[in-house]
Amino acid sequence: MAASQQSTVPNSNIPEYEYIAINTKPFHIGSFRDEWLKRLKPKDYSYQQEDTETFEANFAEAMGIREETMAELRSVCSLDSLRCHAEDEQPDTEVVPPGSTLKTLIQRKKRQDHKASLKFPKNRHDLYADELERLIVGRTPKTESDLIPEGEIILTINVYYPAVFEKFSYIRPHMTLLMMGSHNLTELRDAICCISDLQVCGEFSGTPDVAPDFICKDHFKSAFFFFEGVFYNDMRFPECRDISVTTVEWAKSHNFPPFTQAKMEDTLLQDLRLKVGFPYLYCHQGDCEHLVIITDVRLVNKYDCLDKKLYPLLTHKHRVLTQKCAVCHLFIARWYTTSDQFAPSDPCLFCDKCFRMLHYDADGRKLGEFSAYPYVDRGAFN
């Protein structure tokens, strides 16, 4: 049910490749879902589990297999045929038995032995990845009202780091999200994690103990998505401004094709017309620009996470190296300074302890001349 499959039906609601294996032509998300629902039977996208007898009967009919052949397959492929322990013994599924000949078990044994040799066999990143997997696979809600409706559309969305310097090499997505077609664009915007939203405005060398009044996300709330010639602006709050108007007016004055505008909070993902595999734009904090690529559009199935409260569902988050203090090289940086006579470089990063020991006396008075700004490390999202 992936959107990247090429269709032979001449229908603008069914995606076709614009560039083979790269991106499709524009199509309407909601209409694409409707086309699937017209062609599929309800049992094809139902959450109901098929009983064994019905499955075997349907399988035999579809493959043209006789009952004798089906019985042989049932015997050869049964779990009992894979038993590598005594029948009265309860195996530990986490331990690979010695002398295994299966390639998968050999590889698993190597991985277990490698982890056992490490000082810290499981770090917090592995634990977090395991937690993400538990949320993704087959999670069902506790109440019927939280169950995703059958026939709902699911979009896979990759969000990339902003290219803020020339030697930018992050080609992997910063995060991958699963979202339903019934989500609106503001829910996508709120699910995107960016370090520029957490930055603190102001210079605090004279008052390092004073907590800042706000972070950038609280103060600069304007943002927009750009999909297929339309700017979708976030206008939920009185402080929000239409930051796309400059581009719209510039395009008009230079005889470019006209752009249109809409509100982000009034637009559902299923209302969008877009290309799968094509890079689009998310802009916030004035000039912090992220590429957004929809990589898949499909119907939800019974093996998905079916709890709508867990969506937008994070399925991947890229890990980045943390910036350590330039003095102790041990703790994560919390301050950066400029025009600093005590620093080995300009600008320079310090952890909180080294920053205070170098720049203030025992009574907390500032030593020398320098400018200090709070620093939020990108590894905060690890």
pLDDT single digits (tens) 12-31: 788 888 888 889 999 999 99
Best CA proximity match to 376, nearest among 332, 318, 315: 332
pLDDT beneath 70, residues of the chain: 1-10, 50, 84-85, 119-135, 164-170, 211, 382
Instruction: Bin 122: left if φ > 0, else alpha if -120 < ψ < 50, else beta.
Output: beta
Q: Domain 147-202+209-317 has what CATH class?
A: alpha beta
* β-sheet bridge partners, residue 184: 268
Interacting residues of 90 by C-beta distance below 8 A, sequence separation 6+: none
**Cα–Cα dist 5/32, whole Å:** 12
79: buried, middle or exposed (CB in 10 Å: 19+, 13-18, 0-12)? exposed
Q: In terms of DSSP bridges, do strands 223-227 and 230-233 run parallel, antiparallel, or are they unpaired?
A: antiparallel
Q: Which two tokens stand for residue 20?
A: 């083979």
Q: What is the pLDDT of residue 135?
A: 66
User: Where along the chain do its domains lie?
Assistant: 48-82, 147-202+209-317, 335-381
**Cα–Cα dist 85/96, whole Å:** 11
**Cα–Cα dist 292/159, whole Å:** 5
Peptide bond into 10 cis (omega under 30): no
Widest distance between CA atoms in the chain: 90
Q: What is the pLDDT of residue 182?
A: 94
**Cα–Cα dist 256/195, whole Å:** 33
- The angle, 0 to 180 degrees and rounded to 10, between the axes of the packed helices 67-76 and 52-63 is 120
Q: Is the dihedral of CA 62, 63, 64, 70 positive or negative?
A: negative
CA distances to 29, 149, 202, 269, 313 from 152, rounded to whole Å, are 11, 6, 46, 12, 15
Give 74-133 pLDDT, tens digit per residue. 888 877 777 766 777 777 777 787 777 888 888 888 888 877 777 655 666 666 666 666
Q: What is the pLDDT of residue 354?
A: 92
